[in-house]
Amino acid sequence: MGDTGSSGQGTGGRAGPSPVLGEMEKALLSVDRVKAGKIVTDSCIPGSPFTCLETLIVPALEDVGRRWETGEVALSQVYMSGRICEEIVDTMLPAGDPHRVDQPKMAIAVLEDHHTLGKRIVLSVLRAGGFEVIDYGHGLSVDQLVEKVTRDDVKILLISTLMLPAALRAKEAIARIKTAQPQTKVIIGGAPFNFDPRLWNEVGADAVGHTASDALELVKQMAEGIR
Amino acid sequence: MTDTMTPLERTLTALGQKEPDRVPLFLLTTMHGARELNMSIREYFSKGENVVKGQVALQKKYTSDCFYAFFYASAEIEAWGGEVIYRDDGPPNAGAPIIRSLQQIVSIEVPEVSSCNNLEKITSCLRGLARESACRIPVIGVVMSPFSVPVMQMGFEAYLDLIYNEPENFWILMRKNQQFCTEWANVQIEAGANAICYFDPVSSPTCIPPELYRKTGYIVAKETIAGIKGPTATHLASGRTLAIIDDLATTGTVIVGASALEDIGRVKQACNKRLSVLGNLNGIAMRQWTPAEAERVVRETVQKAGPGGGFILSDNHGEIPWQVPDSVITAISDAVKKYGTYPLDG
């Protein structure tokens, strides 16, 4: 089960949450949009969206993701938390905002199958983290994915899979992308990678995300390295 | 190491929380039958008689303790008018969602099982397996739970939005799905299934929080299982179980499928003889196991969950991947005989 991704590179430890962060997490896990919005309004400085992202929204999502990995929270809560934060961030940092486009070009896709929840969660969390991500959709063949990534000169590619055969097909896709564009970084995630810790390495990915917050941390690290 | 019971006797003894001659082994191989018959997966699943031949061949080859009449999850979506997408190296998948608006939840009609041609091949398979079994080998039928099948009917994201935001429409869909599920399960029992595997991954704490489960999937399961005229095994298809074991034990089910994400000894302890435990070999990791690794994992699993009965060794998902090699499945089968014969070694 579970669709999203941990890191081959590691995400580091964290001190216990502040009271505001704890309240934010509580609001997200109980799917209380109104309360989450109020916490952001009350605790963030108007006009400083990135401070709010970095000190409240992103840490809250990261903690929710970590707690899913340990079985403390459910996938539905990760999904709804991402959606709520995405809505909040969209009001502070609308799509197309110049701050969002100052980043390496990145894209996300579901390879071969049609299970889109993992992609949707990662997309929400990345957008809530202030990143602009091209959504290539789902059910893409290896040929289609390689063609899109090379056409768009994508620098960071996130691949989501649910079924094992699709996860295995990522090997060919990644090899062809790396041949065409050796600088492109590939993050992979999805249930098969959560059940087999060796699989991400076997398919040639640069990193694996076991949760959406892993994906966010990895994207931040890779974006810093590429800039 | 000598078997003295039939697979059915072995299974029933274990389910009675007693120790049979050895730990029962439910090798839930589905697509591997196509390989036995030298067919493509699509051709194999096109006729019930193919799956009968495949299951008989697999049972003999691996001495599994059941016949498994599971074709693929999306067979039910075909019955609802959806599309199935075949591939050469894995289970057929559901195509695009058939419910794309709330209005369609109200308007969609519940299919009559008897008029679904694609389900007839499964009931035909069950009749064939029941004949082959001759009351010696348990025949397992399968349904997708009314609570979990909407992931295929409408997509997971839209379904989560429905659960959280549209309770009235959620229950309309549940009532329709319950009607179909109960009828489909009972048709399978009439055709010869000894038990029904009730696949319900969305109920797992991996997917939704236990408090939400108690207001939704739990109620659906309890009502649906009450209408099924035979024993059921609830399988959360790799999802965690521990946080809802007490709830599962009151749904009327008799077996729970355990996840590889959890310690099977803890799951067995939590079941406390109210439920038997099925599991929990990691089907994904199994692809890369060596025979020696398979033997080690089987031994550990049997040591943790085998004592006292109430345990069936199986994979953790309810479907062994096509990519798992013959050598590993054989090693699992050999290991359960070596280490699973009662009384177990300390």
Going from N- to C-terminal start, the domains of chain B cover 7-339
Token reading at B308: 């006292």
CB contact under 8 A, B208 and A120: no
Domain with CATH 1.10.1240.10 in chain A: 19-92
Using CB atoms, which residue from B87, B157, B284 is nearest to A120?
B157
Using CB atoms, which residue from B87, B163, B261 is nearest to A71?
B261
Least confident of B1-5, B94-98, B180-184, B298-302: B1-5
The widest CA-to-CA distance across chain B, in whole angstroms, is 60
Mean pLDDT for B162-177 is: 97
CB contact under 8 A, B284 and A164: yes
Instruction: Give A-chain residues touching B155 at CB under 8 angstroms.
Output: 116-117
**Cα(A83)–Cα(B15) distance, integer angstroms:** 44
Residue keyed to tokens 């009917």: B153
B7-339 maps to which CATH number? Answer: 3.20.20.210
Using CB atoms, which residue from A74, A112, A198 is nearest to B206?
A74
Using CB atoms, which residue from A2, A71, A76 is nearest to B160?
A76
**Cα(B306)–Cα(A68) distance, integer angstroms:** 30
Superfamily classification of domain A19-92: Methionine synthase domain (1.10.1240.10)
Helix (H, G, I), strand (E, B) or coil at A128: helix
CB contact under 8 A, A191 and B89: no
Mean pLDDT for B314-337 is: 97
Token reading at B174: 């549940």
Instruction: Give A-chain residues touching B163 at CB under 8 angstroms.
Output: 76
Q: What is the pLDDT of residues B87-138, one digit of tens each?
A: 999 999 998 899 999 999 999 999 999 999 999 999 999 999 999 999 999 9
Q: What is the DSSP string of B41-95?
A: HHHHTT-HHHHHHHHHHHHHHH--S-EE----TTHHHHHTT--EE--SSS--EE-
Q: What is the pLDDT of residues B307-317, one digit of tens each?
A: 999 999 999 99
Task: Tell whether A137 is within 8 A of chain B (Cβ).
Answer: no
Per-block average pLDDT, block size 10, for chain A (227 residues)?
34 57 96 95 84 89 90 94 90 74 89 87 89 93 97 97 93 97 96 93 96 91 86
**Cα(A79)–Cα(A197) distance, integer angstroms:** 23
Task: Tell whether A44 is within 8 A of chain B (Cβ).
Answer: no
Please give the mean pLDDT across all residues of chain B. 97
CB contact under 8 A, B201 and A1: yes
Q: What is the pLDDT of residue A113?
A: 79
With a pLDDT cut of 70, the percent of chain B lying above it is: 99
Instruction: Give B-chain residues touching A168 at CB under 8 angstroms.
Output: 89, 323
Q: What is the pLDDT of residue B2?
A: 65
CB contact under 8 A, A80 and B212: no
User: How many beta-carbon contacts under 8 Å exist across A and B?
Assistant: 90
Report which of B193, B109, B100 is spatially closest to residue B143, judged by C-alpha positions.
B193
B-contacting residues of A 6-35, CB under 8 Å? 29, 31
Adjacent-strand bridge partners of A208: A188
A209 Cβ contact list (under 8 Å, min separation 6): A4, A5, A6, A7, A122, A158, A187, A188, A189, A215, A218
CB contact under 8 A, B156 and A163: no
Domain with CATH 3.40.50.280 in chain A: 98-226
Q: What is the pLDDT of residue A16?
A: 53
Question: How far is the alpha carbon of B105 from chain A, nearest alpha carbon, in Å?
Answer: 20
**Cα(B92)–Cα(A91) distance, integer angstroms:** 41
Q: Within 10 A of B85 (CB to CB), how many other CB atoms are there?
A: 14
CB contact under 8 A, B164 and A2: no
Residue keyed to tokens 């079985």: A71
Using CB atoms, which residue from B85, B95, B208 is nearest to A74?
B208
Strands B84-85 and B93-94: antiparallel
- Torsion sign across C-alpha atoms A94, A100, A105, A108: negative
Q: What is the DSSP string of B271-304?
A: HTTSSEEEEEE-TTGGGG--HHHHHHHHHHHHHH
Task: Tell whether A80 is within 8 A of chain B (Cβ).
Answer: yes
Q: What is the pTM of this model?
A: 0.93
What class is the A98-226 domain? alpha beta
| Alpha-helical runs (H) found in B192-244 | 210-215, 217-227
Task: Tell whether A116 is within 8 A of chain B (Cβ).
Answer: yes
Instruction: Give A-chain residues touching B94 at CB under 8 angstroms.
Output: 114
**Cα(A126)–Cα(A93) distance, integer angstroms:** 13
CB contact under 8 A, A113 and B164: no
